[in-house]
Structure 1
């Protein structure tokens, strides 16, 4: 039976469009897949156009580069068909120790900031699946006497780009510096100290090399929030706290105590992750935990919802609920 008027054709086309973009799409039968625990430490999730992309430090072999896992719902994660690396040694800076990536989109390209050989580098790609490469295989900081790890690139509302990173100078300490607009290097201005381990929960073993690391920065309701992890990652007390500021350069006011720890999650070694907004705008913190109560590695990948409540003073308070915590699984046919 034909459609005899233009209005009918429009309705049919609209129905077909809705069918193909939503309800008529065949749902994946996940029962046909086997499940494996994801072992990606220092994880990060990049979200774009209905797909989540997860990257991290490969706990099986961090000497070759970074894998990428994808999901449409933050629950079912699959690897690329041929398990190829999103960033591979030889096409970007680094001979090993590929740690703590962050992926973002900027000026029509995808970028990965990461650590290799305990130095920070930035590679680019035309796809979040990679390959992320460099034309000049070099780290971001040149001629420095100290090691730098755990980069986080933050874009402020005024267009200024900041790099938060960990400088290893008497401990793992978090710094910030302005970046050039083309991401090729450091811009004008000093490297400014942000966070060092000064609170009892940040150095429970009272070591001579205190650790604060894994920075993530977001801006909400006019306030900057710097999330970080403290203690050595092998310490069961490895945990996540945050500090607030009215400027991306600080000074930073620490919130009292960690918000993610073994005390409120019930798992050892909770930390070093990143924040992602879900499709429903819900904020999540993706992180790693210890393998079990005895061994730290291989570290397991997990996720937890972040709750946010704006206070009367204009500064928000973040918290988590253990019931929203779950481990991430890889699905394989």
Structure 2
């Protein structure tokens, strides 16, 4: 439990951060706005990638995610500054993974994550409401499987996130579908071919009558889009809650001293929502460290105040703040949020 003093400290910190961000010139003037520009769905240069994730290799940022229908693979955009994004090379390179090209699945290509492991690049992704992992020698793909198969045949599961701990053990955070969306974790085999069943643990199921289950869009309970960071020996599990079509789709987090949990929710959840961002449907993204170890969260929002699709891609700064007693909180800087833009519209 947090004391009233700790809560007051957090409130003061948030106020100071908001004030400093309002005067920040760390982003170009045209995007350093107070919240997101909730403008027309028809803007041709606005990036329209949902469930986004960014991989940073120390020089370039690679953006992947769920494309608008027909969703036959995974698009990629590249940037050297997180501001201007472009499709690399030829038309073929605009997708790093394609349906039917040594890959699993023929529909529902959602929520990828790209990571490095043992000198190769891997993409963990959803297809046919299951999870698959493919590999490549380049972050630009093509990502393929030697044996075309999912992880865990016969189970409905989505939204993979692969986390490698300091001891070399690798974990799969994911969503299992059973009367709603529930987040689980399990240790992966060393070759990433499957999970170790004895390590499977439940992480998060939404709590009714809270920010996690407002029912502004009626559905079964939803917790999804997990992403994990380890900081000062504490594991931070970020997740989105509510149905993605809900205006109240939002992001919170829980902490643990172990990658397998148990998890304790942050008392200040949600940390990203429509009130703080100025846009509806904020969530399902990925925390990542950029240049100078700056922490960012890339996420999607609804297209406009009245339309869910095509969802737009946004970015916001965050940081760890110590509030005493060994507690580090993740604080998001809402005034640093902006929509991603393309140098050229994709055709």
- TM range, normalised to the smaller chain? 0.7 to 0.9
Measured after TM superposition, the shift of residue 67 of structure 1 is 0.9
| 1:201 lines up with 2:206 in the alignment | no
Flag the 1:43–1:209 CA change in 2: closer, same or farther, 3 A. same
Count of residue pairs brought into register by the alignment: 297
> In structure 2, which of residues 297, 301, 325 is the aligned counterpart of residue 289 of structure 1?
301
Q: Which TM-score applies when normalising by structure 2? A: 0.83
2:292 is paired with a residue whose SS is coil
Partners of 2:185 and 2:192 lie apart in 1 by 14
Matches within 5 A, 1:74-223: 74-84=82-92, 85-90=95-100, 91-144=102-155, 147-198=156-207, 200-205=210-215, 207=218, 209-223=220-234
Measured after TM superposition, the shift of residue 187 of structure 1 is 2.0
| 1:307 lines up with 2:319 in the alignment | yes
Contact 2:213 2:222 in 1 (8 A): yes
Partners of 2:247 and 2:96 lie apart in 1 by 31
Matches within 5 A, 1:26-45: 36-45=45-54
Contact 2:273 2:282 in 1 (8 A): yes
Measured after TM superposition, the shift of residue 311 of structure 1 is 2.9
Partners of 2:302 and 2:139 lie apart in 1 by 28
TM-align CA RMSD? 1.5
Partners of 1:253 and 1:309 lie apart in 2 by 18
Residue ranges of structure 1 left out of the alignment (5+ in a row): 1-33
1:264 is paired with a residue whose SS is helix
Contact 1:221 1:314 in 2 (8 A): no
| 1:324 lines up with 2:336 in the alignment | yes
The list of structure 1 runs, each at least 4 consecutive aligned residues, that deviate by more than 3 angstroms after superposition, is none
1:312 is paired with a residue whose SS is coil
Q: Which TM-score applies when normalising by structure 1? A: 0.86
Partners of 1:123 and 1:52 lie apart in 2 by 20
Deviation digits for residues 210-234 of structure 1, max 9, x if unmatched? 0000000010011000000000000
Measured after TM superposition, the shift of residue 255 of structure 1 is 1.1
Partners of 2:344 and 2:89 lie apart in 1 by 10
Residue ranges of structure 2 left out of the alignment (5+ in a row): 1-42
